[in-house]
Amino acid sequence: MEPISATIGSLVLFVIFVATVISIVRNPNHGFVGKLVWLIVVLLTSVIGSILWLLFGRGKVTR
């Protein structure tokens, strides 16, 4: 892989990661513990964690 395409790919992954973290922090549907768990999942699994958040984490939590 050429250095330019590797840099662009890394930049895209970084933007997705940052957008996911911001989405988690600003989400009113989860409490502190829920947000902390999601942040740990995203930090440990990177892109897969971001996809999981977008598919399952953003919805309403019944209390």
Structure confidence at residue 3 (pLDDT): 66
Q: Where are the domains of the chain?
A: 3-57
Decide: 60 and 29 in contact? Cβ < 8 Å: yes
Count the Cβ atoms, other than its own, within 10 Å of residue 34: 14
Tokens of 57: 């984490």
pLDDT in tens, the chain (63 residues): 566 677 888 888 899 999 999 999 999 888 999 999 999 999 999 889 999 998 888 876 655
Task: Give how far the C-alpha of residue 21 lies from the chain's centroid of Cα atoms, to the nearest Å.
Answer: 5
pLDDT at 61: 60
Angle formed by the axes of helices 32-45 and 3-26, to 10°? 170
Q: Is pTM, for the whole model, over 0.85?
A: no
Kindly report, residue by residue over 18-31, the tens digit of the pLDDT: 999 999 999 988 89
Give, as one character, the DSSP assignment of residue 57.
I
